[in-house]
Every structure is written in structure tokens, then in C-alpha cells.
Amino acid sequence: LFWSYHFFLRSSRKVSGIPVIFVPGSSGSVEQIRSIGSILHNKTENRNSPFSFDVFGIDFNQELSGISGMYLERQIRFLRLAVDKIWNMYSPQPVGLIFVGHSMGGIIIRSLFYSHDFDLSRISLAITLATPHSAPPFVFDYYMERFYEKMRLEWKERAEQIKNITVISISGGLKDILVPEHLTQDSGIHHFSTTSIDTVEVEVDHLCIVWCNQLQRYFFILLNSILNLFIYLFILMNNNVNK
């Protein structure tokens, strides 16, 4: 069933950092991981950060998942298997996984949230880029329409369970002619346009949003701030326990 699917680790060392999983969109390549991976690697090394990132990429063989909902169902099942494999690569296991999804890849990630046999505590953060959360930009078959209906219903049913998971949706602005900004917004999701981010000075098109250097640098600032806060709270809790 998954003979054409793979996942890759952008590192030559043993996994020991914070896992980041990149999920490409319709006809997207796993090589899109390079922009995000290089920024995270260079920034952590240059700043001598107390943590590092292990960046994984999911390869769907550039399937056109934006055309048929049947592709989406298959890709979701593979992502769940890949997440289990990645999770078990760590000893001790990580605090959580960070997901980054482009376009329909963000929908694949979001679909994990309503899988009743998936452990939601594994998810620390999900960032989606130009992802059509509220509706597909094009509907070519019944499967796509049914997929979105199911996602909306399940999202509402599990609202209480997933309310503590942060999902950030970033849209490219007017230059993205494939996925209009209003489709990248939905309830329970924090939405930002690239024009509203201080460090990003331009709008980006649907593909550029993956490798825009200004946006990649913002990712590091965001993740670095969150992780440093976790480290501070961890030290604070340990100090209180030892008193």
C-alpha cells in the first residue's frame, strides 16, 4: 500500500534533539525540507543553544493530494505509521513532536488530531503554511468533499481534547493565488498572514512560503522562544521541588 512513500531524517548523527516533522502538500517534494532544516541547524549551532532539532521529511512521491480525497486518506495512514516509527527512535522519548505542513500537508497533520487511536500528547505544536483549513480551493471528486465534512465534524467532537494543542496557520497574502487567505482560517486555529509578522517584509506565493528565508528565520525565533520558556519552567519546577 505504501511502497512509494518514505520518510527521511536531515541529519547524519543519532537522533537526540527535538523532532520536527515536515509534511509536503499536493505534488510537494520532500526536498522542501532543506530550507527549514538548514535554518534550524545553523541557528542552534551559531547560538550554542542547549537543544538541537532533528528534522524529518515525509515523502509522498509528489502525489497530487489536492485533486482527490483518496490520496489524503492513504497519506494520513502513512503519516501515523511514520510518527510511530520516529517516536520509537528516541530513548528517552521526546517531550513532543513539532509538525510543519505545507498546503494539503497541513490538512494531513490536522487529521491526526481526530484519529481516536492516536496519542494527542505526542503533539507539541503544529505550524501550517498556506493550508486550506476551512475548505478545499478546488473540489474534483466526492471523496474530497466528504473528507472535509468528516474533518469538521471530528474537530468539533474532539474540541475539548485538542484545545490545548497549538495550531498556527500562516498564509502568504495576496500573492498566493492558489489558496486564498480566507481558506487558511478556521475555528481553534491561530492565523497569521506573512504581512502581519514583523520579521517578514513581503507577501509570498504558494510555493515560496516554504523556502522564504525571512519566514524560516521567524520559525526559529518562535521555536527558540517556546523552548527557552519550557527550559525556564522546568528549572523553576525542579528548584521548587528541591527546596
Which helix (H) or strand (E) is 97 found in, with range?
strand 97-102
Burial-class residue 115 by CB neighbours within 10 Å (0-12, 13-18, 19+). middle
Q: How far apart are CA 221 and CA 207, in angstroms?
A: 22
Cβ contacts of 81 within 8 Å, gap of 6 or more = 2
Greatest extent of the chain over all pairs of C-alpha atoms, in Å: 63
Which of 26, 65, 68, 103 is catalytic? The answer is 103
Three-state DSSP at 54 gives strand
Q: How far apart are CA 46 and CA 49, in angstroms?
A: 8
Cβ contacts of 157 within 8 Å, gap of 6 or more = 114
Q: Residue for cell digits 550554542?
A: 48
Is residue 115 annotated as a catalytic residue, yes or no? no
Three-state DSSP at 19 gives strand
Q: Residue 156 CB: number of other CB atoms within 10 A? A: 11
Q: How far apart are CA 53 and CA 225, in angstroms?
A: 14
- Cell numbers for 50: 542547549
The amino acid that residue 97 corresponds to is: L
Residues catalogued as catalytic: 103
